[in-house]
Structure 1
Amino acid sequence: MSTDGVEWLEDSAFDEFGYCVTFARGLSAVELLRRMGCDTTNTAGKTPTDANHWIEDVADEFGHRAVADKESVIRAGEANGWAFAVEDAGIRGIDHDVLAVVSTATVAMSTFRNVNALTQFLYVESGKVVCAFESAQVRDGTDPDRLVPYLTRAGLLLPDGDEPDLGIGERQRLVQRMMHTEFGATLPREDVENGELLAAMY
């Protein structure tokens, strides 16, 4: 069982160029990739560096037509009953249509940050965005108040419902800590940062 949590993302190389990490409960890594629209007929184990060069490498070897319809690569794995998908500077995991498919008959969550310090958290069940926010005080979704107890325990909301004065990095850490402590989601750091994870193109 991995106890690395999620908040280490804010202290990693992923923070420099942005990241999007999506979790789906009870799925396999390959099924999560499939639901995110990846070509799962062609998967391979890839480190972050290898994944970032994969499309270019295939184009060099087989010609650009071989990857003409491909935009990027997602790496995926499994830990603590969740599948996770890691996008380096990607946004697919915060696309509501993508998450509707990912969360079919299950629960999905995403944490996102880009180079401009824009952030997003989404909690989705069975195709419906239950709660989504950049600021925990300004929430959207079909039941945006459902996570209020979790947000309060995490320190993202004060007991009166106001939001504490948090920097972006601190807020992201608290969101990601909540994902771990309240829902059990975790990212095995060594595997994600340096190891090979199952990768596929979309």
Structure 2
Amino acid sequence: MGDGVQWMVGAVTSSGWMLDVHFARGIDAEELAVRMGARREAAAGPMTDAETEDLDVDGYPGRGPGSAVVRVGEHAGWAFAVLYGRYHDRLGEVSRDGVEAVHYHHNSEHPPTTVLYARDGRTVCGYGLGEERVRWGEERDRFLPDLVAAGILNPDGDTYRETGDYDRVERKRLGLAVFEERLGLSLPRTVLTEDRLPVYAVMGSPADDFEEISSWAGADGRPLPDRRLGLIPAGLRRDYERATAPRWRERGAHHRVAVPTLRAEAVLKAPGPGTEH
């Protein structure tokens, strides 16, 4: 099975705070990207995790145009898509037509890390790592025997086996191990280090004003955005709006905030079921 997925606990992408991965069994990597919002045959790259920083995607809800990309691949019988940018839960769409899917979402600024399993367009089961007594899905107790066997929960499903001091990272690893063992889930560690994978835009592409901003960038001597990916980098859009809107300063006087990008701001996760922030 290779590297499994337990190593993902606490791991982050080049963003420095997030690791968001959709897995799918029954479709290939491009189909996974398409179900997440990409245009077919519109891959750019390949790129490493570190190289995605140059895409300057905007990952902050409510500010800027909003964009997200995925790096995709296949491993151990699963297609996978690592997300960069705006929070983008597509579990229902990914799992339609009998496909099995898992969504792992870790955001260090908005715990808990959540893991959800779906099939045929419905959420089967899932929970937050470290919050396993709050379980979701049509079969919320499907993995309860495994959580009991792992020493996380008591058989009642509502109380924890350990109530005193314990290794929280180890507890989360054990919770994720249930998905690894039950589903044969695996992801290579090299995905976050050296692997060069195809990149697809899944949100914010194609931008309606792509041609307009590209023309302005070319005339101003700026690097042109990637035409195949179809994304307008958040920084380029900000500069374009400043340069072309005569009253930009007045408009921004009430709430002048620079558009955050993955290099500077955290991706805010919409609260999941049963989760409070």
> What TM-score do the two structures reach when normalised by structure 2?
0.60
For structure 2, the residue ranges without an aligned partner over 5 or more in a row are 58-63, 203-277
Hey, what does 1:54 align to over in structure 2? Answer: 55
Is the radius of gyration larger for structure 1 or structure 2?
Answer: 2
Is the partner of 2:9 in helix, strand or coil? helix
Hey, what does 1:33 align to over in structure 2? Answer: 33
More RCO (CA 8 Å, sep 6+): 1
Check conservation: 2:148, 2:154, Cα contact below 8 A. Answer: yes
For residues 22-171 of structure 1, the aligned pairs below 5 Å read 22-43=22-43, 44-54=45-55, 71-88=67-84, 91-92=87-88, 95=89, 98-104=90-96, 105-116=98-109, 117-134=111-128, 135-161=131-157, 162-165=159-162, 168-171=168-171
Report % sequence identity: 32
For structure 1, the residue ranges without an aligned partner over 5 or more in a row are 57-67
Instruction: Quote the RMSD (CA, aligned, Å).
Output: 2.5
Equivalent-residue separation in structure 1 for 2:168 and 2:40 (angstroms): 35
Letter in 2 for 1:99: L
Equivalent-residue separation in structure 1 for 2:193 and 2:176 (angstroms): 17
Question: CA 1:28 to 1:167, structure 2 compared with 1: closer, same or farther past 3 Å?
Answer: same
CA displacement at 1:70 relative to structure 2: 6.3
Hey, what does 2:191 align to over in structure 1? Answer: 191
Deviates most, 99-108 or 110-119:
110-119
> What TM-score do the two structures reach when normalised by structure 1?
0.80
Hey, what does 2:21 align to over in structure 1? Answer: 21
